[in-house]
Copies of this chain bind each other. A is one copy, B any other.
């Protein structure tokens, strides 16, 4: 190795052989001689490309006109058709333990269904953008919502991932929503079902679990959890998976900052859940739920008024 190195030849040989042993002793955390992993960078690139088709001009190339837009779409759809089918096929092959003609066929079919749904998806996303503008007094116009709001990234990525989820594409939907999670702090499981005109303000720390159902015109603020309460285990001590364990929000529900709603409960139509509320029960329609104000302790500390930096800032 490098001239500076502390490694003798023997050290190096020993380390390399220990690492090799470790790879084969711990196969869960390597992926050697197993083909067909999808490519994260390729999937991130596809997400960007899809944003360019869904919100042309706002994402992707900026020089689109009524004259060149058709050529742009044709080109993008061709690229997407090939590249999506390949990533989907790799995800399906990984899940199935290897490739097959049937998987190739399914991947092409899923890509076809997904791309055919793009016009319908745009109509849905238009309702979300309008909900963002109407729900936030700090939004100057809808351009600002499309162009700079994390909700647009998180919700549009979720809506795409959810279509792939319904098409039974494994892994890729989760990679897509975790990418949005990393960019926005908003963690929506691809399995969650979300109605039109959905808005999340600020959004950092929001968690929406796999079996959550959200109606139309709902709004969430930062730090809201729609989660599960606890996990039943079977006789072998394995947790159950895939049963309905997250909340249902009916239409027009608003949940304020840092509220936590756990379990398969129903928050009724037009109900409002206040900031910081911790809920594990259903709420009837039209009802407002808030914490009975926690009693506050006020302690006067007259000296603190001239403390500068030196005093003990204490809770």
Q: Is A266 an interface residue (CB 8 A)?
A: no
- Known A26-B122, A315-B272; judge A291-B294 contact (CB<8 A): yes
Q: Which residues of B contact A300 (CB under 8 A)?
A: 284, 286-287
* Cβ contact of A37, chosen from B57, B209, B210, cutoff 8 A: B57
Could you tell me if A309 and B138 are in contact, using CB atoms closer than 8 angstroms? no
Could you tell me if B260 and A257 are in contact, using CB atoms closer than 8 angstroms? yes
* Cβ contact of A257, chosen from B81, B227, B231, cutoff 8 A: B227
Q: A37-B57, A236-B310 are in contact. List 4 more A-B contacts (CB 8 A).
A: A28-B129, A148-B174, A275-B278, A287-B300
- Known A6-B111, A31-B58, A178-B150; judge A302-B286 contact (CB<8 A): yes
What is the minimal beta-carbon distance from A85 to any residue of chain B, in angstroms? 6
Could you tell me if B275 and A239 are in contact, using CB atoms closer than 8 angstroms? no
Could you tell me if B29 and A315 are in contact, using CB atoms closer than 8 angstroms? no
* Cβ contact of A77, chosen from B16, B112, B262, B314, cutoff 8 A: B16
Q: Which residues of B contact A26 (CB under 8 A)?
A: 122-123, 126
Q: Which residue of B lies closest to A90 (CB)?
A: B62
The distance in angstroms between the C-alpha atoms of A213 and B115, with both chains bound, is 47
Could you tell me if B126 and A307 are in contact, using CB atoms closer than 8 angstroms? no
The distance in angstroms between the C-alpha atoms of A142 and B96, with both chains bound, is 14
Q: Is A100 an interface residue (CB 8 A)?
A: no
- Chain A: interface residue total (CB-CB under 8 A): 165
Could you tell me if A19 and B65 are in contact, using CB atoms closer than 8 angstroms? no
20 A-B pairs with C-beta separation under 8 A = A1-B78, A2-B78, A21-B119, A29-B58, A32-B56, A140-B170, A182-B183, A187-B202, A204-B206, A217-B309, A225-B258, A230-B314, A233-B312, A237-B309, A254-B313, A272-B315, A275-B278, A275-B315, A286-B301, A291-B294
* Cβ contact of A19, chosen from B11, B118, B275, cutoff 8 A: B118
What is the minimal beta-carbon distance from A308 to any residue of chain B, in angstroms? 7
Q: Which residues of B contact A166 (CB under 8 A)?
A: none
The distance in angstroms between the C-alpha atoms of A225 and B108, with both chains bound, is 46
**Interface residues in A141-157 (C-beta closer than 8 Å to B):** 142-144, 146-150
Could you tell me if B171 and A231 are in contact, using CB atoms closer than 8 angstroms? no
Q: Which residues of B contact A102 (CB under 8 A)?
A: none
Could you tell me if A258 and B1 are in contact, using CB atoms closer than 8 angstroms? no
The distance in angstroms between the C-alpha atoms of A299 and B28, with both chains bound, is 37
Q: Which residues of B contact A7 (CB under 8 A)?
A: 81, 112, 115
Q: Which residue of B lies closest to A14 (CB)?
A: B116
The distance in angstroms between the C-alpha atoms of A58 and B40, with both chains bound, is 10
* Cβ contact of A15, chosen from B116, B137, B274, B288, cutoff 8 A: B116
Q: Is A54 an interface residue (CB 8 A)?
A: yes
The distance in angstroms between the C-alpha atoms of A289 and B304, with both chains bound, is 14
